[in-house]
Amino acid sequence: MGRPRKHNPTIPAHIDQSMLPKGVYWDSSGNGRWYVRATGKAVMVAGPKAQLSDLHAIIEQRAGGAERGTVGHYIQRFHASSKFRQLSPRTQSDYKRQADIVSAYITPLGVPLSAILVARLNATGIQRIIDKLDEAGTPTKANHLLRYMRRVFSHAVRHEGLAENPAKGVEQAKERGRTGMPSLSAYGKVLTFARDRAQRDAHTAGSVAPYLPHLMLIANTCRLRGIEVVTLTDAHATGEGVRSNRRKGSRDNVTAWTPALRAAWDALVAIRSAAWERNKRPVPLRAEDRPLIVAQSGSALSKSGLDTSWQRMMTLAVKAETITDAERFTLHGLKHRGITDSADKASGGHRTEAMRQRYDHALPVVEPSRTSEFSGEFSGAAKSGSATD
C-alpha cells in the first residue's frame, strides 16, 4: 500500500478524503476540478460537485469496466446479453454508437453520464439531457438516445434487478418533418448520373453499382422502401406487373408494367445472370429463391450494402456538381416521390388516411371560399367606413 494521502483543506467538504480512489487528484484552481494523469498529462474527469461514488465509477470505467449500478454498468450488461446478440448487425452497430454518446456526455456534475449511478437518475434529469440536445439543434439525436436509454434500463428492470426505468415518461424532442423526397429536377439529374456512372467498370474512379439506376426507377414507380426493393425476387414478377412485398402492415398491390418498368426489371435480371455466370453460381430452381438484385459476388444484395452504395453515389453526384448538397435525397424519398406523383394516393399500400397524407406532398388546388362572391360588397363597406362581423 502507498502512503496515505495528506488532508487537503481545499477538497469539497462532502468528499471523505480517506475513501478517495487511487489515481484521482484534486486541482483547487478556479472552481476546482478532479483529474487523472494520462500519458503524462492531467485530464479533467469531474467538476467540484462530483460525489465520491462518481469518482469511484470514473476510475472503474477508465480501467475498462463499469462500477455496478452505474449507467455504464447496465449498458455493458445489456450489450453482453442474448437479447443484444439477437439484434441485427446494423442495430448492434447503432447501439454501440449510442453507448459512445453516453460515455462522452458530461453531466452538470462534470462527470460522464456513463459513470452516474442510475439510482441518482430520474425522469427529470434525463429530460434535461434530451432538452439540451434538442436545444443544440439535434432533436433526432436526442430521441435516438432516449429510445436507447429506455431499452437499456428496461432490460435492467427485467434482468438486472433495477427497481424502475428512469427514462420512462420522458418526453421526446419535437423533430422537424423531413421526408428526403427529391424534387423532380434532382431525381432526373441523379437518375441520369447513375445511368452514366453505372457504365464504368466496377471499382474504377467515379463508378457506381450497375443496379442503382434500375433500382431507383423500380423504387419510385412501385413506391417501395429500400428493404422492399432488395428483397424482390422473380416470384414478384407477375403477368400484370410487379407485386409488392410491403412491410409495416402496408397492403400489398401490383404495379402494372410500363415499358420503363419492364426494361429496368430485365436489366437487373441480366446483371444478376452475368454475376452468377462470372462466379459460377448455380441458378435456384424456385422463383422465390432467385433475388432480383445481387452484389458482385452474386449473393443477394443486403440492405446495408445498398445503403453504402447509395450514400457513395450521392457523394459522387454532389462532388461532380450534378446536384447541390441541399438537393441530396434519401432512398426512402423515392417512395414519397412516387406516391406524390400518383393519382391514387393509396398506391403506396398505406391503410390509414394519415399515412397517405404523410407521403403525399402535392400542393392541392382548391376552390375559392364562397364569401369571395361578396367581395364587392365588402370593398364598398370598407370605403364607407362601416364594419361587419
Give the model confidence (pLDDT) of 282-329 as tens digits.
Answer: 999 999 999 999 999 999 999 888 988 998 999 999 999 999 988 888
Find where cell 393509396 sits.
346
pLDDT surpassing 80 at residue 219: yes
pLDDT surpassing 50 at residue 1: no
Please tell me the least confidently modeled range out of 112-116, 227-231, 263-267: 112-116
**If you average pLDDT over every residue of the chain, what do you get?**
82
Number of separate helices (H) and strands (E) present in the chain? 14, 5
Q: In which band, very low, low, confident or very high, does the pLDDT at 387 lie, cut at 50, 70 and 90?
A: very low
CATH of 17-159, one of 1.10.150, 1.20.140, 1.10.10, 3.30.70: 1.10.150
pLDDT at 357: 54
State the alpha helices, DSSP H only, in 279-352: 303-319, 333-340
Question: And the C-alpha cell for 321?
Answer: 456538381
Give the model confidence (pLDDT) of 354-368 as tens digits.
Answer: 555 555 555 555 556
109 in Cβ contact with 50 (< 8 Å): yes
pLDDT surpassing 60 at residue 345: no
Task: Determine the average pLDDT of the residues in 65-92.
Answer: 85
> How many Cβ atoms are within 10 Å of 292's Cβ, its own excluded?
25
Between the CA of residue 307 and those of 159, 162, 170, 301, 329, what are the distances in Å? 34, 37, 32, 10, 12
pLDDT at 26: 82
48 in Cβ contact with 11 (< 8 Å): no
pLDDT surpassing 90 at residue 340: no
Share of the chain above pLDDT 90, in %: 36
pLDDT surpassing 60 at residue 98: yes
Q: In which band, very low, low, confident or very high, does the pLDDT at 177 lie, cut at 50, 70 and 90?
A: low
Give the model confidence (pLDDT) of 238-250 as tens digits.
Answer: 999 999 888 767 7
- Residue ranges of the domains in the chain? 17-159, 184-359
Q: In which band, very low, low, confident or very high, does the pLDDT at 386 lie, cut at 50, 70 and 90?
A: very low
Domains 17-159 and 184-359 share a fold: no
Query: Which of the pair, 112 or 92, is modelled with greater confidence?
Result: 92
pLDDT at 21: 77
CATH topology of domain 184-359: hpI Integrase; Chain A (1.10.443)
The residues, any chain, with a CB within 8 Å of residue 54's CB and separated by 6 or more, are 46, 109, 111, 115, 116, 117
Task: Determine the average pLDDT of the residues in 196-222.
Answer: 92
Q: In which band, very low, low, confident or very high, does the pLDDT at 226 lie, cut at 50, 70 and 90?
A: confident
